[in-house]
Chain A
Amino acid sequence: GNSVTQMEGPVTLSEEAFLTINCTYTATGYPSLFWYVQYPGEGLQLLLKATKADDKGSNKGFEATYRKETTSFHLEKGSVQVSDSAVYFCALPSSGSARQLTFGSGTQLTVLP
């Protein structure tokens, strides 16, 4: 079935550093791909998405490009802020049901001032 493999954390960066969180997927066809973010004490929020190959999703300075050649959807940000400290999850629809999402195990990001 569909699955995602996400870069293990935790990741600790200094403010204004460049961020990459790797995500690779296994899927039937070309499903939509998502990044969710979970700030401390809060629920998951959709950060960005891409609905087809070669699409680039972007939001709040974060970007991710849907690359079918490498089956990847890596999350990037050019200059992180302390407020970006959170857990980031890569996700895609589960095989057999477009309603369900299959999530990666999450990557904890801490940004130090």
Chain B
Amino acid sequence: GAGVSQSPRYKVAKRGQDVALRCDPISGHVSLFWYQQALGQGPEFLTYFQNEAQLDKSGLPSDRFFAERPEGSVSTLKIQRTQQEDSAVYLCASSPLTGTYANGYTFGSGTRLTVV
């Protein structure tokens, strides 16, 4: 597609519910990233995929967070047993590059998750 597409745009979950957030990167982009952006803050890194391989998941805040990209294109970020502190905007970004990112990424519009 022309850009990075994320769905849903908004998600309200009851505490304890599981959620799944979807990211469609730009076609052919090798690298895919998930970031978490709390209200009034800058995005913080969660995890990184190169094709289908999850090469870095050091930013995932707990084992309730899980991400996958089984065919090297679409990615899903799953949060189990959601808690109020999980409320944030979840941003997906993709890049055609696998090395340094001097040209930056292309970000999606994000999914705003609110846990009540």
Contact = CB atoms under 8 A, between A and B. Distances in A.
Given A43-B4, A44-B91, A100-B45, A106 B108 contact: no
Interface size classification for chain B = 20 to 34
A46 B4 CA distance: 14
Interface string A49-63: 101000000000000
Contacts of A99: 31, 33, 48, 56, 100-101
Contact of B40 (A6, A51, A106): A106
A106 B41 contact: yes
Interface size classification for chain A = 20 to 34
6 contacts: A49-B103, A94-B45, A99-B48, A100-B48, A101-B45, A103-B44
B60 to A, nearest CB: 13
Interface of A: 6, 32, 34, 36, 41-46, 49, 51, 89, 91, 93-94, 97-106
B33 to A, nearest CB: 8
B103 A43 contact: no
B100 A32 contact: yes
Contact of A106 (B42, B44, B99, B101): B42
B56 to A, nearest CB: 7
B31 to A, nearest CB: 7
Contacts of A44: 43, 91, 93, 107
A89 B100 CA distance: 19
A99 B108 CA distance: 17
B56 A43 contact: no
Nearest to A43: B107
Contacts of A34: 104
